[in-house]
Amino acid sequence: MGMMKNIFITGDRQIGKSTLLNHILSECQKEYVGYRTLPDQKVSIGYTYVMQDITTQETMSISYYDGNRMMGIPETFSNLGVRCLKHALKSSCEIVVLDELGRFEQENLDFIESVYDLLDSEKWVIAVLKNEPISYLLQMKQREDCQLYDLNTLSFEQAEQMIISEIKMKGEEDE
């Protein structure tokens, strides 16, 4: 298997991981499914976030502020998350976007299993990974069918060019 099938983008907070993903998607002009994580409410220590299914636009909260710290809402991953990933697996779209994978879902084995089903499939997964030592993410990074682009070590432009040429080569292989 010469071709890396899945693309992981990582790097520190606010470094431009989702922006890079958006650049790549608009450049490639292919249809895609999956989910995005969007800021919801501004609180004193940052934002709470929602998960949004790219296809249906359905959203559910993934975090809330308890007055002290940010808390995850794991049910969202078992509910909307799993439905979204199962739909992505059955979809005719070849690109699946997972933006992002992080710590709030690390206990959600049904969600993580659905992520693995996608990584194992013929689909092309483009995922944004939180830059934290979370065990399921560390395991994913070890996969031989995944290429990791770290914005802490690559410039935005380098990563963008590398990923876009990777996708274009992949497109030619498939034709």
* pLDDT: which is higher, 53 or 4: 53
* pLDDT: which is higher, 169 or 164: 164
In a domain? residue 56: yes
Round to whole Å and give the CA distance between 60 and 75.
10
In a domain? residue 1: no
Beta bridge partners of 47: 42
In a domain? residue 72: yes
Give the pTM: 0.94
* pLDDT: which is higher, 172 or 14: 14
Number of domains in the chain: 1
In a domain? residue 17: yes
Mean pLDDT, residues 121-130: 96
Check whether 40 has a pLDDT greater than 50: yes
Cβ-defined contacts of 137-140 (< 8 Å, 24+): 137/101, 137/102, 140/8, 140/101, 140/115
The pLDDT tens digits of the residues spanning 3-27 come to: 568 999 999 999 999 999 999 999 9
Strand pairing of 46-53 and 95-101? unpaired
Round to whole Å and give the CA distance between 7 and 10.
10
3-state secondary structure labels for all residues of 107-174: CCHHHHHHHHHHHHCCCEEEEEEECCCCHHHHHHHCCCCEEEEECCCCCHHHHHHHHHHHHHHHHHHH
CATH assignment of the domain containing 155:
3.40.50.300
- Parent domain of 29: 6-174
Radius of gyration of the chain (CA): 16
In a domain? residue 28: yes
